[in-house]
């Protein structure tokens, strides 16, 4: 039916519900907000029952088709939310998703959440089948040049405004972390004395953030300062920072390193790949120290930590974050 971006979703939902929504990308905040909007629209159309499925390794794809065929006596419409963190359903999953699409109806809504898909995945039979019956929402990262505009839009949505210098201060502070930016804006709603945030107000607000921040953790790990990185991780936990925020930052950096390694091998200069000058030597040294195979293994471990955070595995998420921190610092886990 349609392939849209998050900004187009509200208008799309007002035009009526599709039986299938596929949300794909690597920005947790935007994924969460898109899913919230879809769930709310579905509830407004009488979808009062919800099944949540996690498509991890060895997932029983019969559960998807079974959930589609079992409606409660008290709810005539159901949302089936399927999270597929690996992004690849395999042969069985591909067949199950195609069968679901072939039998799509107005009584069951599928919300499929996936990481960013590559071109081959977007052209796969199962994606084509789902897209033919539903809506695919592609979520792209907000890069450094777009961040001030994104922050300004968020401030306006919160009935606030800010001086250009204040917006730039916040953009530099959050360094691409949309979740952190959103949290800072929520704080500004409480701190702001008037509707226009000055540079001084912004400076004071961001200066009062946690002494141990996730960006300090990443920089210490990239610099191979394992002791400093672990100390920062412990500080983050002590100050009440949520595990998903830390995991987001670590996983994002691992993906960035993989992409940067590939482009460096193609001959692209580091100053074109890393916009913030002070981070260029950190990224370059980490790319030389860590091999692609290692980074791919780190991403697999990050998915295991994500599963633990959601309660799907017998593991302490913070122990998993400690292991990832040591790995990114170039140290073997204890």
Are 51 and 80 in contact by the 8 Å Cβ rule? The answer is yes
Mean pLDDT of the chain: 85
Decide if pLDDT at 72 tops 60: no
- The residue among 197 and 314 whose pLDDT is bigger is 197
Q: Tell me the domain boundaries of the chain.
A: 2-139, 147-207, 214-328
Q: Indicate if the pLDDT at residue 210 is higher than 50.
A: no
- Residues 59-69 pLDDT 10s: 899 888 888 77
Q: CA-to-CA distance for 71 and 66, rounded, in angstroms? A: 10
Give the model's confidence band at 70: pLDDT under 50 very low, under 70 low, under 90 confident, else very high. Answer: low
Q: What is the pTM (predicted TM-score) of this model?
A: 0.61
CATH domain 147-207 topology: Helicase, Ruva Protein; domain 3 (1.10.8)
CATH architecture of the domain covering 2-139: 3-Layer(aba) Sandwich (3.40)
**Quick one: which of 252, 233, 250, 229 has its CA closest to 241?**
233
Percent above pLDDT 70 for the chain: 92
pLDDT of residue 323: 93
- How many CA atoms within 13 Å lie on the side-chain side of 107? 10
DSSP run (H or E) holding 49: strand 49-54
Class of 214-328 per CATH?
Answer: mainly alpha
Question: For residues 181 and 151, is the Cβ–Cβ distance under 8 A?
Answer: yes
Q: Do domains 147-207 and 214-328 have the same CATH topology?
A: no
82 - beta bridge partners? 53, 112
CA distance 233 to 277: 24
Question: Taking the alpha carbons of 71, 35, 116, 312 in that order, is the dihedral positive or negative?
Answer: negative
């Amino acid at each position: 039916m349609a392939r849209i971006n998050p900004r187009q979703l509200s208008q799309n939902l007002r035009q009526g519900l599709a039986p299938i929504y596929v949300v794909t990308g690597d920005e947790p905040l935007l994924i969460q907000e898109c899913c919230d909007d879809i769930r709310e629209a579905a509830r407004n159309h009488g979808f009062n029952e919800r099944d949540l499925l996690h498509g991890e390794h060895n997932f029983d794809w019969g559960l998807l088709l079974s959930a589609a065929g079992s409606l409660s006596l008290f709810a005539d419409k159901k949302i089936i939310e399927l999270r597929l963190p690996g992004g690849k359903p395999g042969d069985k999953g591909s067949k199950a998703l195609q069968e679901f699409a072939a039998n799509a109806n107005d009584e069951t809504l599928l919300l499929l959440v996936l990481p960013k898909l590559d071109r081959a995945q977007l052209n796969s039979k199962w994606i084509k089948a789902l897209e033919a019956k539903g809506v695919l929402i592609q979520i792209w990262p907000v890069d450094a040049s777009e961040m001030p505009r994104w922050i300004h839009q968020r401030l306006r949505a919160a009935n606030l405004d800010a001086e250009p210098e204040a917006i730039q201060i916040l953009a530099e502070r959050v360094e691409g972390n949309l979740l952190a930016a959103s949290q800072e804006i929520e704080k500004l709603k409480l701190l702001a004395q008037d509707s226009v945030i000055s540079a001084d107000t912004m400076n004071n607000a961001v200066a009062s953030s946690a002494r141990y921040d996730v960006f300090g953790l990443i920089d210490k790990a990239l610099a191979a300062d394992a002791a400093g990185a672990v100390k920062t991780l412990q500080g983050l936990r002590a100050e009440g920072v949520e595990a998903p925020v830390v995991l987001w930052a670590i996983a994002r950096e691992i993906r960035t390193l993989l992409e940067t390694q590939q482009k460096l091998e193609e001959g692209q200069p580091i100053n074109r790949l890393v916009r913030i000058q002070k981070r260029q030597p950190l990224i370059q040294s980490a790319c030389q120290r860590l091999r692609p195979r290692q980074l791919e293994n780190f991403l697999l471990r990050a998915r295991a930590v994500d599963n633990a955070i959601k309660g799907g595995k017998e593991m302490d998420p913070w122990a998993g974050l400690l292991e990832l921190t040591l790995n990114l610092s170039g140290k073997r886990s204890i």
